[in-house]
Amino acid sequence: MITRSRVFGTGMAVPDHIITNEYLSTIVDTSDEWIRTRTGMKERRQVRPDQAASDLAIPASQQALEEAGLSPQDLDMIIVATISPDTLFPSTACIIQDKIGARQIPAFDISAGCTGAIYAHTLADQLIRTGHSKYILIIGVELLTKITNWSDRSTCVLFGDGAGASVVGPSENGSSGLLGHHIASDGKGASMLYIPAGGSRMPASRETVDKNLHVLFMKGNEIYKTAISTMSESCHILLKQEGLTPQDVDLFVFHQANLRILEAVGKRLRVSPDRVFVNIHKYGNTSTATTMMAVHEAVQEGKIQRGSLVLQVAFGAGLTWGGLLWRW
Ligand code: ACO
C-alpha cells in the first residue's frame, strides 16, 4: 500500500483591518466599479505597521494543530511559503518554530510566489511517503500590503494580507490523501512580477529607497493570459495522471488573483461555477496564502468533506505554477 500524505488540520488568520474599494478610490485614481468588474474584489485585509508575517502565521498554525489534534511537539518539520518574510534571514519558519514551542526540528522558507503552497505540499508529500517525516506544518503567509506601491493603481488595489496553514501527515489508507501533484516554472517571465531592490542584485541604498524600488512590480495584463493557460494545463495534467475528468472534481480551488481568471479557467474545463471556490471578494490576492485560506474556508463551510475530490491550483511569480489533486 502506498502511504499518501493527507491533511489532518487547516487554519487561517487575517488581520481585522479592512481596506475597501471605496477607501482605495480616495488614494488613487480608481473606483469601486472598476475594481469589482475587473477583479471581483470588494475588500482586502491589512496588518498593523508593527506586525510581521509570523504574527499571522502563528495563529493560523495553532488553529491547524488544534484541528489536527496535535501539539507543536508532535511536528517533524515546518515549511513556510512566503515572499514577504519577517526578515530576509533567518527564515520565518525558524521564528515560528521557536514561538509555537516546537522541538528543534528542520524549519525553512521556500520562495515560489503564489505557487509556494503547492510547492510546499509537494515537498512535504515526498518526505512523508519516504518515512523521513511524520507530521509537517505548512504555512502560506503573505503581508503584501507591506510591499505594495500605494501610488500605483494597477497593483495597489489587488493585494491583501493573510495566512493559511495545514498539518499534513501519513494517510491511514491508500485511497485518501494527495493523489497527485504537478509543479513547474519558467524564469523567462521573472521580470513580469518582482521586487527590484533589496536583494544582492540591487542592495538597499538611499537611491533605491528614493526611487521606491522595494515594492512589487507587475505586468498584470501580460501575466493574465499565462495564468489561465498554465492553471488549465496543471488541471489537465493532474486529472490525466489519475484517469479522471474535470467532471469528477467536487471542488476547484484556484489561486485567487482575479475572478475573471477563475471564471476563464472554469470555462475552459467546462465546469459549473458552483464548483469553483471563490473568496477573492473578501481578501483580494494574498499570494501563496490564497489557496490555503480557501481550502480552510471550504472545509469550514462543508464544501470539502471527507472523500471529496479537490483540485488546488496556483500560478505566480517566477513564473511558477502547479497543482495538487486531493481525495480529502
Ligand atoms: N482603476 C482604474 N483603472 C485602472 C486601474 C485601477 N485600479 N488599474 C489599471 N487601470 C487602467 C489602466 O491604466 C488601463 O487604462 P488605459 O486603457 O487607459 O491604458 C486600463 O485600466 C486597462 O488596464 P489593464 O492592465 O489592461 O487591465 P486588466 O483588465 O488587464 O486588469 C489586472 C488588470 C487586474 C492586473 C489583470 O491584468 C490581472 O488580474 N492580471 C493577472 C494578475 C496575476 O495573476 N498575477 C499573478 C499572481 S500575483 C503574485 O504572484 C503576487
* DSSP code per residue over 11-39: EEE--S-EEEHHHHHHHSS--HHHHHHHH
Q: In Å, how far are 119, 171, 177, 206, 298 from 116, measured between CA atoms?
A: 5, 23, 19, 31, 20
Low-confidence ranges of the chain (pLDDT < 50): none
Please give the Cα distance from 120 to 295 (Å, whole number).
Answer: 15
- Give the separation between CA 279 and CA 285, rounded to whole angstroms: 10
What's the total number of domains in the chain? 2
Do 157 and 241 belong to one domain? no
Instruction: Please check whether residues 36 and 135 belong to one and the same domain.
Output: yes
Same domain, 18 and 159: yes
Give the cell for residue 267.
470555462
Q: DSSP letters along 291-323, please?
A: HHHHHHHHHHTTSS-TT-EEEEEEEETTTEEEE
> Rounded to whole angstroms, what are the CA distances from 138 to 66, 247, 249, 297?
14, 29, 24, 16
- Ligand 1 pocket member 84 (CB < 6 A): no
Asked whether residue 57 falls in the same domain as residue 115, the answer is: yes
- Whole-angstrom distance, CA of residue 85 vs CA of residue 82: 6
Residue 257 near ligand 1, beta carbon < 6 Å? yes
Same domain, 139 and 16: yes
- Provide the 8-state DSSP code for 181: E
**CB of 316 sitting under 6 A from ligand 1:** yes
| Atom 10, ligand 1: residue with shortest CA distance | 154
Say which residues have a Cβ less than 8 Å from residue 149's Cβ, sequence separation at least 6.
Answer: 155, 156, 212, 215, 216, 217
Is residue 195 situated within a structural domain?
Answer: no
Q: Do both 108 and 27 map to the same domain? A: yes
In a domain, 322, yes or no: yes
17 and 47 together in one domain: yes
The answer to whether residue 159 sits within a structural domain is yes
Of 140, 170, 200, the residue that ends a domain is 170
Nearest atom in ligand 1 to 316's CA:
50
User: Is 203 within a domain?
Assistant: no
Domain range spanning residue 226?
177-185+220-327
What DSSP assignment string belongs to 105-167?
--EEEE--GGGHHHHHHHHHHHHHHTTS-S-EEEEEEEEGGGS--TT-HHHHTTB-EEEEEEE
The amino acid at residue 326 is: W
Same domain flag for 144 and 257: no
Q: Is residue 149 part of a domain?
A: yes
Mention every residue, 6+ apart, whose C-beta is less than 8 A from residue 320: 112, 113, 114, 115, 119, 183, 184, 185
pLDDT (tens digit per residue) in 254-302: 999 999 999 999 999 999 999 999 999 999 999 999 999 999 999 999 9
Q: Measured in angstroms, how far is the CA atom of residue 288 from the centroid of ligand 1? A: 20
CA-wise closest residue to 196 among 185, 206, 204, 184:
204
Q: Are residues 181 and 150 in the same domain?
A: no
Kindly state whether residues 181 and 157 are assigned to the same domain.
Answer: no
Catalytic residues: 114, 255, 285
Judge whether 31 lies within some domain.
Answer: yes
Kindly state if the Cβ of 92 falls inside 6 Å of ligand 1.
no
Residues 225 and 165 in one domain: no
Q: For residue 239, give the CATH number of its domain.
A: 3.40.47.10
Last residue of a domain, which of 135, 170, 205?
170
CA 157 – ligand 1 centroid, Å: 9
The three cell numbers locating residue 167: 498539518
Name the residue among 315, 300, 286 with its Cα closest to residue 44: 286
Residue 114 lies in a domain: yes
Residue 225 CA to ligand 1 centre (angstroms): 12
C-alpha cell at 173: 489508507
| pLDDT value, residue 173 | 80
Parallel, antiparallel or unpaired: strands 161-170 and 5-13: antiparallel
Q: How far is the CA of 154 from the centre of ligand 1 (A)?
A: 5
Identify whether residues 151 and 181 lie together within a single domain. Answer: no
The answer to whether residue 197 is domain-embedded is no
Polymer length of the chain: 328
Mutate to test the pocket of ligand 1, among 221, 228, 286 (most ligand atoms within 8 A of CB): 221
pLDDT recorded at residue 172:
81
